[in-house]
Each structure stands twice: as C-alpha cells, then as structure tokens.
Amino acid sequence: MNANTEKKMTVVEEFVCSIDREQKKERITRLVPVFILVLLIAFFTILSPSFLSYSNIIALMNQLSIPLILSCGATFVIIIGSIDLSIEGAMALAGTVLACLIANNTTPYNLGFGAILIALAAGMGVGGISGLLHVKCKVPSFLLTWGISSVCTGLTLLLYRAIPIQIEDTRLLMIAQGTFLGLPILIWIALIIFLICLFIQEYTWIGRYIYAVGADENVPKSAGINTDRVKIIVFVFSGLCIAIAGILGAARLGRGDLQISTSRLFPTITAVVLGGTPLSGGRGSVVNSLLGCLIITVLNNGMIFMGVPNNVVDGIEGIIIITAVTLSANRNRKVVVK
C-alpha cells in the first residue's frame, strides 16, 4: 500500500469516525428530553403524591393541547431555519374573528361552521403574508413576524373595541369542556394534528424538502426544487396551526379577545428547542416538540402544585430557553435564524 492510498484511507476513516460521533451525539440529544421529563415527574410525585392523580393527569392533558398544536406548526418553521413570532397576535386575531362571526352577545352574525372556516383562513392568510414577505423581500423572519404579530394585535383590538365578545354557541363551548372516551376533546384534536404533522414529516415530499431547505438551502435549489414555495407552504401551515389554537383558545375562554393568546409565544419556542430542534434548522422533529411540550406542561403544573408565584415561573422558563438555545446551537453555521 503506497503513501497516497494510506492517506486516502486515513481521510475515509476520519470521515466515518466523524459520522459516528454525530450519530452518538444525536442519540444522546434525543434521550436528554426523555430523561428530563422522567426526572420532573418523579420529583413532583415525591413532593406531592396527588401529582399523578387522575384529575391532575386530565388537567395536564388540557394544558398540553394548545401548546402542542402551536409547537407542531412552529417546528416546521424552525426546521427550515426560520422562526414565526406572530403566534400571539395571529392566535388572538383568529379567535376573535371566530367570536365575531359565531353566535355571540355583540354582533348579529351567526355563521356556525362558516365562522370556523373564516377564522382558519385568517390564520393561514397571516402565515401566507409572512412567508411571501420573507422569501420575496428577504426580510429576516424574526423581525417580520414580530411586526406582523403587532399588526394582528391591533386588528384584534379593532374587532372587539376593548369589550370582549362572549361566545354563545353551545356546540363550540362543548368542544372545550367535553370529553371523549374519558379524555378531553381538546387533547384528541391536538393528537390528531400531531399525527398529521408526523405523517407529513416522515412520508411526504414536503417533509423531505423541509429538512433539505433547513440543512442547506443551496443544495435543493441547485436540484431544481422551488425552495421559496416550500417556505411559504411551511408558514401557511404554521398559520393554520395558530388559527386552530386560537379557535380552541376562544372556545376554552368563552370569548374573543387578546387574553386568548397571552403568554403563548415563548413557551412554544421553548418547547420546540427544549425538545431538541435547534434554531439553526435542518434537524428536529414534531416528536421532539411533543417531549418539549410535556416538559414545559409538567414543569408549570408542578410549580402550581408547589405554589410558586407566576413571575418566578416566567423567570424559570426564561432560563430554560436560554439554556436550551445555547446547548442546541450549531456554532459551525454563520446564520442561526433566517
């Protein structure tokens, strides 16, 4: 074996070793959220045995439903290397549009199922505008969607003019309060959306393209893939998830106003990143986001059991997202969020 061949073999061996290291790192990254979740459940159960009571498990599922729906949409946006900060504004807008157009105590409209469709269209429209401006005007997604959230907040305030619109449609209210097979209807809706997202991620062309765009946009672009279209579709889907969350939030509160989406943004991003989806994009999964949502939900519920003040809970969530972003950051990439 000559020196040139030995050199090539060394390069190949180093490459194989680097792949092995990455695979081991990936496996550890996937296991960390599971370990944290088990640790939290054990900790709170020791402090309060009633933590795992049937009533509290049902409460946990109710608390999990809306964050899981929001996280499913946010996951795909983050995988493509962008971020959607319009969650709170768009969610409030969709919920308030629904409240205005369904049986209520303020407006004469009662469009029934049509109100739900219009609210969904409003959320998808917000996502579509975000996606179009992001790809066509090359505006950074975090600045763009933050501004769009403010616009949505203003539109929401115009719709209800400081007097919350009370929903009087009993069928819609029943969705938020009812159960099916012993579990809240809200968690069934969230699980259906999660499974749809998992199917999209694993078995469809758009799922493959999402990862390709996030890993290196130039590669799919050179293969003739319309990466702009992929991004717009992802933002529209995120808007759809936000609208569904807004509808369910309005049904849960029984009214349409800004309170529907209060404190929804950062817990959603925290759940996605904490689950193992880095803000740099290219990696991640809705399964990871489910784990992240479970961690955040269990943590919040457990701290309520312990009587921890809300401001302390917010501070702890802030520390968690800073830690998660720091640990998951890919320092080899020049751009973290596009």
Does residue 313 form part of some domain?
Answer: yes
Greater confidence (201 vs 306) lies with 201
Q: Is the CA virtual torsion 72, 78, 79, 80 positive or negative? A: positive
- What pLDDT sits at residue 91? 94
Q: pLDDT tier at 29 (50, 70, 90 boundaries)?
A: low
Does residue 215 form part of some domain?
Answer: yes
Does residue 32 form part of some domain?
Answer: no
Greater confidence (151 vs 55) lies with 151
8-state DSSP, 49: G
- Pick the most confident of 98-102, 207-211, 240-244: 240-244
Does residue 37 form part of some domain?
Answer: no
Q: Which residue range is the domain that position 303 belongs to?
A: 51-328
Average pLDDT of the segment spanning 183-187:
88
**pTM for this prediction:** 0.87
Greater confidence (33 vs 269) lies with 269
Residue 9 has pLDDT above 70, yes or no: no
User: How many domains are contained in the chain?
Assistant: 1
- What pLDDT sits at residue 327? 67
Does residue 39 form part of some domain?
Answer: no
Average pLDDT of the segment spanning 279-305:
87
- What pLDDT sits at residue 200? 93
User: How many Å separate Cα 142 from the centre of its chain?
Assistant: 15
Greater confidence (92 vs 9) lies with 92
Please work out, in degrees rounded to the nearest 5, the angle formed at the alpha carbon of residue 305 by the alpha carbons of 299 and 310.
65
Residue-wise pLDDT for 58-91, tens only, equals 888 888 999 999 999 999 999 998 999 999 999 9
Instruction: Transcribe 239-291 into DSSP letters.
Output: HHHHHHHHHHHHHHHTEESGGGGTT-HHHHHHHHHHTT--TT-S---HHHHHH
CATH classification of the domain holding 199: 1.10.3470
Q: What is the mean pLDDT of the chain?
A: 83
Does residue 256 form part of some domain?
Answer: yes
Does residue 333 form part of some domain?
Answer: no
Does residue 336 form part of some domain?
Answer: no
Residue-wise pLDDT for 92-133, tens only, equals 999 999 988 887 777 788 888 888 999 999 999 999 999 999
Residue 295 neighbours by CB distance under 10 Å? 23
Question: 160 and 95 in contact (C-beta within 8 Å)?
Answer: no
